[in-house]
Amino acid sequence: MMTPLMIWKRGFVVLVLLSAFAFNQAHAARIETGFLDREITLEGVNYRYQVYVPINYDPGKTHPVILYLHSIAERGEDGLKQTQIGLGTYIRQDRERFPFIVVFPQTRHNEIWTGDMATLALKVLDKTVEEFNGDPKRLYLTGISMGGHGTWYLATKTPDKFAAIVPICGFIASPKPDLPPERKDALLKVNPLAQSPDPYATVASQISKVPVWIFHGSADPDVSPDESRRMSQALKASGAKVKYTEYEGVYHNAWDRAYSERDLVSWLLSHPHSKTAQLTGPTAQAQAAEKGLKTITLPNGEVIHDLNGEWEVFSENYGPWSSYGSYPTTVKIEQAGSSFTQIRLTANPYYNKGSVAGKGELDKNGFIQFVAYTNLGNITLKGQISEDGKTIKIDDGEKARATYSRK
Residue 5 has pLDDT above 50, yes or no: no
Torsion sign, CA atoms 327, 397, 264, 261: negative
Asked whether residue 278 is domain-assigned, the answer is no
Same domain, 301 and 351: yes
- Same domain? 111 vs 159: yes
Q: What pLDDT, on a 0 to 100 scale, did the predictor assign at position 394?
A: 80
The stretch 168-180 carries a mean pLDDT of: 87
Q: Is residue 279 part of a domain?
A: no
d(CA 313, CA 134): 17
The three-state (H, E, C) secondary structure of the chain, written as one string = CCCHHHHHHHHHHHHHHHHHHHHHHHHHHCCCCEEEEEEEEECCEEEEEEEEECCCCCCCCCEEEEEEECCHHHCCCCCCHHHCCCHHHHHHHCHHHCCCEEEECCCCCCCCCCHHHHHHHHHHHHHHHHHCCEEEEEEEEEEECHHHHHHHHHHHHCCCCCCEEEEECCCCCCCCCCCCHHHHHHHHHHCHHHCCCCHHHHHHHHCCCCCEEEEEECCCCCCCHHHHHHHHHHHHHCCCCEEEEEECCCCCCCHHHHCCCCCHHHHHHCCCCCCECCCCCCCHHHHHHHCCCCEEECCCCCEEECCCEEEEEEEEECHHHHHHCEEEEEEEEEEECCEEEEEEEEECCCCCCCCECEEEEEECCEEEEEEEEECCEEEEEEEEEECCCCEEEEECCCCEEEEEEEC
- Classify strands 326-336 and 339-347 as parallel, antiparallel or unpaired: antiparallel
d(CA 332, CA 350): 16
160, 130: one domain = yes
Q: Is residue 23 part of a domain?
A: no
**How many structural domains is the chain composed of?**
2
Q: What's the rounded Cα separation, in Å, for the pair 62 and 313?
A: 14
| Least confident stretch, 104-113, 115-124, 375-384 | 375-384
Nearest 5 degrees, angle CA 109-CA 127-CA 146?
Answer: 30
186-224: pLDDT as tens digits: 777 778 888 888 999 999 999 999 999 999 999 999 999
- Quote the pLDDT of residue 13: 45
Q: Which residue, of 269, 301, 320, is where some domain finishes? A: 269
Q: Span 120-126, mean pLDDT?
A: 96
How many degrees, rounded to 5, is the angle at CA 185 between CA 181 and CA 187?
A: 115
Domain of 359? 284-406
Q: Which of 246, 269, 292 is the last residue of a domain?
A: 269
- pLDDT at site 17: 46
The per-residue pLDDT for 69 is 98
Of residues 324 and 176, more confidently modeled: 176
**Pair (153, 186) in one structural domain:** yes
> Average pLDDT, whole number, for the chain?
83
Q: In this predicted model, what pLDDT tens digit does every residue of 391-402 receive, in sequence order?
A: 888 876 677 778
Would 25 be classed as within a structural domain? no
The pLDDT tens digits of the residues spanning 136-155 come to: 889 999 999 999 999 999 99
- Report if residue 211 sits inside a domain: yes
Instruction: Please name every residue paired with 295 in a beta bridge, in sequence order, or none if there are none.
Output: 305
Please tell me whether residues 238 and 324 are part of one structural domain: no
* 188 shares its domain with 40: yes
Pairwise CA distance, residues 226 & 213, whole Å:
16
CATH code (residue 390): 2.40.128.120
Q: What is the CATH number of the domain that holds 105?
A: 3.40.50.1820
What whole-number distance in Å separates Cα of residue 144 and Cα of residue 70?
A: 6
Q: Are strands 377-385 and 391-395 parallel, antiparallel or unpaired?
A: antiparallel
70 confidence band (pLDDT: 50, 70, 90) = very high
Residue 102 lies in a domain: yes
Residues 241 and 344 in one domain: no
CA dist 330 and 61 (Å) reads 13
Same domain, 244 and 308: no
**CA–CA distance, 374 with 25 (Å, rounded to integer):** 42
Residue 8 has pLDDT above 60, yes or no: no
Q: Is the pLDDT of residue 39 over 50?
A: yes
Average of per-residue pLDDT across 261-284: 68
Q: Calculate mean pLDDT across residues 313-326.
A: 75
Q: Is 12 inside a domain boundary? A: no
- pLDDT exceeds cutoff 90 at 251: yes
The predicted-structure confidence for 363-405, as pLDDT tens digits, reads as follows: 766 777 778 777 667 777 777 787 777 888 887 667 777 888 8
In a domain, 288, yes or no: yes
Same domain, 212 and 95: yes
Q: Are residues 291 and 258 in the same domain?
A: no
Q: Which comes out higher in pLDDT, residue 50 or 339? A: 50
Examine the domain organization and report whether 250 and 288 are in the same domain: no
Q: What is the pLDDT at residue 278?
A: 42
334 shares its domain with 402? yes
pLDDT in tens, 214-228: 999 999 999 999 999
What confidence score (pLDDT) does residue 34 get? 94
Contact 79, 37 (CB under 8 A): yes
Query: Furthest-apart CA pair in the chain: how many Å?
Result: 96
Q: Using the predicted structure, report yes or no on whether residue 16 has a pLDDT greater than 50.
A: no
Q: Is the pLDDT of residue 325 over 80?
A: no
Report the pLDDT value the prediction gives residue 188, as an integer from 0 to 100.
Answer: 72
Whether the per-residue pLDDT at 301 is higher than 70: the answer is no
- pLDDT, position 375: 66
Question: Last residue of a domain, which of 229, 246, 269?
Answer: 269
pLDDT confidence tier of residue 18, bands split at 50, 70 and 90 = very low
**109 contacts 122 by C-beta, under 8 angstroms:** no
